[in-house]
């Protein structure tokens, strides 16, 4: 692979994000920053106040009559399909039609001359509801058996028998809360009218092709009539994979109906009640194991609150099953996964995509085994890692051939002095009655690929202009993760020119069609390789041309630091390009990539769904106040594998940021619904993502120096978007460890995630045998 080191901004270099200078000067434009086109309409949706109800009457007369109102949109205004479901399940209407299925669902939208007028008008709607029975909690959904699809089972061997035969047995349950994405830029879209009724949509979406397709269906158009562009998102995290579509659909409908440009930028509170979140889970387990804590058999019962529609819940819950093993070999295993419908907002993709919840189950089990046996939890974890004779096949039948978890854990334990600190903590805890410390080292093994096979494809479009400058486009979207930068570095390396010669351009369905969502951590793997292929095609043509000119063989043409050498000829890149142009050589190419060697039989839940695994390990130390339940993360050490990094600075940012986001999920971020199904934590005043001072006081993050993908990915790099989030399970585990010290016994605490002060105090109280 081309690894041109003499250029500025080639692959593997730690260069800043391509938009960094624009970010810090306020010049980077997000949708709401676009100059107002003449006649721009502003939208405000009207939301359901009921969790489940029939709409008896929808009286919008006052809304229509309000000052500045141009039109009001309801389900009846949709000429085509009133659905933005990503999987064609037909249960995600743009506007509720006759029945609302969660509090916060969009019932209508008003388009007005100003935003203030739109918001004022929307408040004037009079909606009469007839309440219907609402299923709000997981327990209610389990009791009512509201499964969205049949329970899924992934199994190997006879888990029950193995558990029965094992010398030790335990069972337990862990409650895992959901999570709001809290992208700083709320959902946003703008639509401009074109000729022939065409629509040009600017959407803050991770999935422009899907937005294009859904809008086309909604308006009885075809994909060719709708163009979707995304320059950047102000954060996505999975929350703009499917959830952006409804917002974009509203502006498209307004534009279609009025012929005027339309914009909708959701107010934060509306965004938080209207759009989906990470699934909350309850995972029960039963396990049998030997004296070393090594599992003989395990049963996991996973149940997830999916909310009011299917959305991506099937794939998300599949991934919870795929990661029920985390990094551990499960000889006999039975995993049952239930996906429950509730009258709450439809839960959706969120960094990790079910994987984090799946891992929480087995990490809870590892800790419980360690306490049960009175052994150090790290020794139990190590005893269960993949590796050794016949211990290399996952519950879904994929062989683990790239396992570095044991190596990572050993290096981290050594470097961060696990043993010494374990002792110091024991001493501290013996001396302190009301304050305890806890320590945990947990691994992450995360499967890379969309488990829906066809999504593992990407396209790119590269133009080299006659002056030697390069226009780069691909199907991936930029949400802050540095994808555009990394892909541009790849292309710079192919041509061996400085990155400054390459223009990174907005994702555009008119340039690269039929793209997959930028999701599943796959952005660089897929788009990096597609852009590489496009650039290689052009480079090949240039090399042939140069060889012809120089009278040498094309393979002897050398691209080096902005120059091209062939035989006795020596051009600057721009000179060669100019000459090639005059010689009528095509200087534009598409590129395509489809991940090889993956397959999966979803009926049997067997196959090789993942191209490879990404690994990491984290050691967290916490302190817990036994009187209030407050906790602090004192120190975190991370060792994470990114293969051969495309950009170590950007990868480090993903690791640090992913970890802190995961920490928020498991500590301070709590979604609270009231008895009527209304989300009570719908703004940053009540929903608390980590603040600056919450990051670990000592935070040592390292990229695994020997990392290299065993598969031929782009420059042998590995995906990095999601895996680091799950390193934060070490924080939850360490809090459990501290709490367990209040009991002193062999019981792992019944700590619900997130570990808020209240949940911690509850767990301590229960551990002491008192009631809560």
Residue 694: CB minimum distance to other proteins, A? 7
Q: For residue 504, what are the CA distances in angstroms to 23, 341, 682? A: 15, 42, 36
Which one of residues 593, 762, 763, 767 is an interface residue with other proteins (CB under 8 A)? 762
Q: How are strands ordered across the β-sheet holding 332-341?
A: 152-156, 332-341, 295-307, 280-289, 168-176
Q: How many CB atoms lie under 10 A from the CB of residue 388?
A: 9
For other proteins, the closer CB: 498 or 694: 694
User: How far is the C-alpha of 709 from the C-alpha of 257, rounded, in Å?
Assistant: 51
Q: Which stretch binds other proteins (CB under 8 A): 158-166, 404-412, 477-485, 731-739?
A: 477-485
Q: Which 178-217 positions form the footprint of other proteins (CB under 8 A)? A: 181-186
Which one of residues 1, 8, 12, 16 is an interface residue with other proteins (CB under 8 A)? 16
Q: Which distant-in-sequence residues (6+ apart) come within 8 Å of 497 by Cβ? A: 7, 468, 470, 562, 573
For other proteins, the closer CB: 307 or 721: 721
Q: Is 768 in the site for other proteins (CB under 8 A)?
A: no
Residue 424: CB minimum distance to other proteins, A? 16
Q: Which 304-363 positions form the footprint of other proteins (CB under 8 A)? A: none
Residue 21: CB minimum distance to other proteins, A? 6
Q: Is 378 in the site for other proteins (CB under 8 A)?
A: no
Q: Which 63-122 positions form the footprint of other proteins (CB under 8 A)? A: 67-68, 114, 116-117, 119-120
Residue 30: CB minimum distance to other proteins, A? 6
Which one of residues 481, 489, 509, 589 is an interface residue with other proteins (CB under 8 A)? 481
- Is 722 assigned a catalytic role? yes
Of 486, 558, 498, 564, nearest to 529 by C-alpha is 486
**What residues does 454 pair with on adjacent strands?**
none
Q: Burial of 766 by CB count in 10 Å (0-12 exposed, 13-18 middle, 19+ buried)?
A: middle
Query: Which residue among 241, 414, 722, 758 is the active-site one?
Result: 722
For other proteins, the closer CB: 36 or 164: 36
For other proteins, the closer CB: 183 or 334: 183
Q: Is 723 in the site for other proteins (CB under 8 A)?
A: no
Q: Which 245-284 positions form the footprint of other proteins (CB under 8 A)? A: 265, 267-269
Q: For residue 54, what are the CA distances in angstroms to 95, 101, 674? A: 14, 9, 20
Q: Which stretch binds other proteins (CB under 8 A): 154-162, 234-242, 458-466, 610-618?
A: 234-242
CB 533 within 8 A of CB 474: no
Residue 746: CB minimum distance to other proteins, A? 25
Which one of residues 6, 21, 426, 583 is an interface residue with other proteins (CB under 8 A)? 21
CB 526 within 8 A of CB 564: no
Of 654, 636, 669, 649, nearest to 723 by C-alpha is 654
Residue 442: CB minimum distance to other proteins, A? 18
Residue 34: CB minimum distance to other proteins, A? 9
For other proteins, the closer CB: 20 or 604: 20
Residue 276: CB minimum distance to other proteins, A? 16
Q: Which stretch binds other proteins (CB under 8 A): 192-200, 386-394, 480-488, 736-744?
A: 480-488
- C-alpha angle with apex 648: 645 to 654, nearest 5 degrees? 100
Residue 628: CB minimum distance to other proteins, A? 5
Which one of residues 8, 142, 757, 766 is an interface residue with other proteins (CB under 8 A)? 757
At 262 the three-state DSSP class reads strand
Residue 679: CB minimum distance to other proteins, A? 9
Q: Is 504 in the site for other proteins (CB under 8 A)?
A: no
Q: For residue 699, what are the CA distances in angstroms to 120, 125, 533, 588, 738? A: 47, 51, 38, 46, 19
CB 762 within 8 A of CB 638: no
Which one of residues 570, 625, 711, 750 is an interface residue with other proteins (CB under 8 A)? 625
Which one of residues 30, 465, 581, 592 is an interface residue with other proteins (CB under 8 A)? 30
Which one of residues 19, 190, 451, 515 is an interface residue with other proteins (CB under 8 A)? 19
Show the DSSP H helices in 418-528 as ranges: 418-431, 483-495, 523
For other proteins, the closer CB: 21 or 466: 21
Which one of residues 1, 12, 28, 410 is an interface residue with other proteins (CB under 8 A)? 28
Residue 164: CB minimum distance to other proteins, A? 39
- Number of residues in contact with other proteins, rule: CB under 8 A? 93
CB 410 within 8 A of CB 375: no
For other proteins, the closer CB: 59 or 674: 674
CB 401 within 8 A of CB 418: no
Q: Which 141-180 positions form the footprint of other proteins (CB under 8 A)? A: none
Q: Is 466 in the site for other proteins (CB under 8 A)?
A: no
For other proteins, the closer CB: 20 or 144: 20
User: How far is the C-alpha of 737 from the C-alpha of 185, rounded, in Å?
Assistant: 37
Q: Is 220 in the site for other proteins (CB under 8 A)?
A: no
| SS3 of 143-198 | HHCCECCCCEEEEECCHHHHHHHCCEEEEEEEEECCECCCCCCCCEEEEEECHHHC
For other proteins, the closer CB: 20 or 65: 20
Of 240, 251, 302, nearest to 275 by C-alpha is 240
**What residues does 335 pair with on adjacent strands?**
154, 300
For other proteins, the closer CB: 181 or 221: 181
User: How far is the C-alpha of 17 from the C-alpha of 8, rounded, in Å?
Assistant: 14
Q: What are phi and psi of 257, to 5 degrees?
A: -75, -35
Q: Is 765 in the site for other proteins (CB under 8 A)?
A: yes
Which one of residues 23, 64, 463, 541 is an interface residue with other proteins (CB under 8 A)? 23
Q: For residue 277, what are the CA distances in angstroms to 148, 181, 287, 428, 449? A: 17, 6, 31, 39, 22
Q: Which stretch binds other proteins (CB under 8 A): 18-26, 249-257, 441-449, 543-551?
A: 18-26
Of 343, 306, 342, 473, nearest to 49 by C-alpha is 343
Q: Which 391-450 positions form the footprint of other proteins (CB under 8 A)? A: 434-435
Residue 43: CB minimum distance to other proteins, A? 16
Q: Is 8 in the site for other proteins (CB under 8 A)?
A: no
For other proteins, the closer CB: 331 or 684: 684
Q: Is 561 in the site for other proteins (CB under 8 A)?
A: no
Long-range contacts of 424-430 (CB under 8 A, 24+ apart): 425/621, 429/738, 429/741
Q: Which 646-705 positions form the footprint of other proteins (CB under 8 A)? A: 649-650, 652-653, 656-661, 668, 670, 672, 680-681, 683-686, 688-695, 697, 699, 701
Q: Which distant-in-sequence residues (6+ apart) come within 8 Å of 36 by Cβ? A: none
Question: Dihedral sign, CA of 447, 453, 454, 459?
Answer: positive
For other proteins, the closer CB: 35 or 769: 35
| Residues recognised as catalytic | 722
């Amino acid at each position: 692979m081309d690894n041109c080191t003499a250029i500025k901004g080639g692959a593997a270099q730690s260069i800043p994000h391509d938009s960094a200078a624009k970010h810090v000067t306020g010049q980077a434009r997000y949708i709401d920053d676009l100059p107002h086109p003449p006649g721009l309409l502003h939208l405000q949706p009207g939301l359901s106040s009921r969790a489940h109800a029939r709409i008896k009457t929808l009286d919008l007369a006052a809304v229509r009559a309000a000052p500045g109102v141009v039109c009001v949109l309801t389900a009846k205004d949709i000429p085509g399909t009133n659905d933005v479901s990503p999987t064609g399940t037909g249960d995600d209407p743009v506007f509720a039609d006759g029945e609302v299925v969660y509090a916060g669902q969009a019932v209508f939208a008003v388009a007005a001359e100003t935003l203030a007028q739109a918001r004022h008008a929307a408040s004037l709607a009079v909606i009469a509801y007839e309440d219907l029975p609402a299923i709000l909690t997981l327990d209610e959904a389990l009791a009512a058996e509201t499964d969205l699809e049949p329970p899924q089972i992934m199994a190997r061997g006879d888990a029950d028998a193995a558990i029965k035969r094992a010398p030790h047995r335990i069972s337990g349950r862990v409650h895992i809360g959901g999570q709001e994405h809290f992208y700083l830029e709320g959902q946003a879209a703008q639509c401009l009218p074109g000729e022939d009724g065409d629509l040009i949509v600017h959407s803050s979406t991770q999935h422009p092709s899907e937005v294009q397709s859904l809008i086309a269906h909604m308006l009885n158009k075809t994909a060719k009539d709708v163009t979707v562009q995304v320059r950047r998102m102000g954060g996505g995290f999975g929350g703009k994979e499917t959830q952006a579509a409804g917002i974009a659909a509203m502006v498209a409908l307004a534009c279609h109906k009025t012929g005027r440009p339309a914009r909708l930028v959701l107010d934060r509170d509306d965004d938080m009640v209207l759009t989906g979140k990470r699934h909350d889970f309850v995972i029960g387990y039963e396990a049998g194991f030997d004296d070393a804590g090594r599992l003989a058999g395990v049963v996991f019962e996973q149940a997830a609150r999916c909310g009011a529609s299917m959305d991506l819940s099937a794939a998300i819950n599949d991934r919870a099953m795929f990661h029920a093993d985390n990094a551990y070999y499960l000889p006999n295993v039975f995993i049952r996964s239930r996906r429950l419908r509730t009258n709450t907002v439809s839960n959706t993709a969120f960094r990790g995509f079910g994987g984090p919840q799946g891992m929480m189950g087995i990490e809870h089990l590892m800790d419980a085994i360690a306490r049960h046996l009175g052994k150090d939890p790290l020794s139990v974890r190590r005893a269960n890692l993949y590796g050794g004779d016949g211990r290399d096949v996952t519950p879904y039948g994929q062989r683990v051939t790239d396992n570095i978890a044991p190596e990572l854990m050993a290096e981290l334990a050594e470097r961060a002095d696990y043993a010494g600190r374990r002792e110091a903590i024991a001493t501290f805890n013996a001396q302190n009655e009301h304050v305890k410390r806890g320590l945990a080292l947990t691994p992450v093994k995360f499967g890379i690929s969309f488990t829906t096979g066809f999504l593992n494809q990407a396209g790119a479009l590269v133009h080299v202009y006659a002056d030697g400058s390069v226009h780069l486009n691909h199907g991936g979207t930029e949400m802050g993760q540095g994808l555009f930068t990394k892909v541009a570095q790849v292309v710079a390396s192919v041509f061996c020119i400085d990155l400054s010669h390459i223009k990174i351009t907005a994702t555009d369905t008119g340039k690269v069609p039929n793209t997959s969502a930028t999701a599943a951590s796959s952005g660089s793997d897929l788009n990096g390789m597609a852009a590489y292929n496009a650039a290689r095609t052009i480079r090949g043509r240039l090399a042939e041309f140069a060889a012809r000119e120089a009278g040498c063989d094309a393979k002897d043409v050398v691209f080096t630091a902005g120059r091209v050498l062939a035989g006795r000829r020596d051009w600057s890149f721009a000179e060669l390009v100019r000459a090639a142009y005059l010689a009528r050589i095509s200087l534009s190419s598409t590129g395509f990539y489809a991940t090889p060697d993956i397959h999966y039989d979803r009926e049997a839940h067997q196959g090789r769904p993942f191209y490879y695994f990404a690994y990491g390990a984290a050691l967290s130390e916490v302190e817990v106040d036994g009187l209030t339940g407050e906790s602090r993360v004192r120190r975190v050490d991370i060792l994470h594998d990114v293969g051969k990094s495309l950009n170590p600075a950007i990868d480090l940012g993903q690791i640090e940021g992913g970890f802190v986001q995961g920490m928020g999920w498991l500590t301070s971020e709590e979604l609270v619904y009231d008895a009527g199904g209304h989300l009570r934590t719908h703004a940053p005043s009540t929903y608390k993502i980590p603040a600056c001072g919450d990051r670990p006081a000592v935070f040592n993050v390292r990229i695994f120096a020997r990392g290299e993908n065993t598969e031929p990915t782009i420059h042998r790099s590995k995906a990095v978007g999601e895996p680091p989030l799950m390193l934060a399970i070490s924080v939850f585990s360490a809090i459990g460890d501290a709490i367990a010290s209040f009991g002193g016994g062999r019981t792992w605490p019944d700590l619900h995630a997130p570990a808020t002060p209240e949940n911690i105090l509850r767990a301590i109280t229960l551990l002491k045998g008192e009631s809560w």
